Amino acid sequence: MPRPFRSLSCLIPLLFAAHAYAAPALPDRVILVGDSTMASTTGYGDALCARFTPETSCVNLARGGRSSKSFRAEGRWDEVMGLLRDGAGFRKTYVLIQFGHNDQPGKPGRSTDYATEFPVNMKRYVDEAREAGGVPVLVTPLTRRSFKDGYVHNDLAPWAGTVRSIARDTKTPLVDLNAQSLAAVQAMGPKEADKMARTGSNFDYTHLGPEGSQRFSGIMAKELVRKLPALAADMRGAR
């Protein structure tokens, strides 16, 4: 009589294992938080989202004109936190955080000091995303494409440097888009770099047109996979 019971007890772990094997893997999610250089129509964010597989959710919450201060003050970070709290359907949620352009001086209600207020704001984003179960990823600000004496004028260097320090101190993954985009634009030269902009009356040296969004989203995708190899499986063409 003990025999059937022994057989049954042996089958139970196998049944659990079969159930676990059959369960579909949860997808990843990516949330973009930033300013116009990441936002739809003016930045690389939508083009970056298009590089992920259909199974990977990519939510572009970046908005033009926002700084590390005003994004939170307007309640937009609350939306991010709401998504993180409702993250049970995802394996991981990566939160890409990029500010700097509108934190510069001369922008009332948005400007922050890069040595004091800006680092506090950025670290708070990192801490809160992590506490809510997300994976924060810091991104240094996209370079402007203005040249002076043959060289790109990197007026965002202080903000980029602050982001690098925060990433190091908090052990947060960093995509150094400022350094990568600066090198790319310098290699292009002024004439080629102008092709990255929007056309006509929308032309400037900060925002991106279709060609620019493709170019810099490609840099972002490559750097994301380099810093977070697990994301390679979420990129189109990786499977």
113-150 pLDDT, tens digit per residue, is: 999 999 999 999 999 999 999 999 999 999 999 999 99
Q: For position 20, what pLDDT does the model report?
A: 47
Q: Give exposure, 139-153, as e/b (b: 16+ Cβ within 10 Å).
A: bbbbbbbebeeeebe
Note the pTM of the prediction, 2 decimals. Answer: 0.89
Higher per-residue confidence, 59 vs 10: 59
Please count the other Cβ atoms lying within 10 Å of the Cβ belonging to residue 22.
7
Q: For position 156, what pLDDT does the model report?
A: 98
For 62-79, what is the mean pLDDT? 98
Q: For position 113, what pLDDT does the model report?
A: 93
Residue 221 has pLDDT above 50, yes or no: yes
Contact 60, 76 (CB under 8 A): no
- Average pLDDT over all residues of the chain: 93
Q: For position 23, what pLDDT does the model report?
A: 61
Q: For position 24, what pLDDT does the model report?
A: 73
Q: What is the set of domains in the chain, with CATH numbers?
A: 24-234 (3.40.50.1110)
Q: For position 51, what pLDDT does the model report?
A: 98
Query: Which residues, other chains included, contact 29 with Cβ-Cβ below 8 Å and sequence gap of 6+?
Result: 56, 57, 58, 59, 83, 87, 90, 92, 93, 94
Banded pLDDT at 18 (limits 50, 70, 90): very low
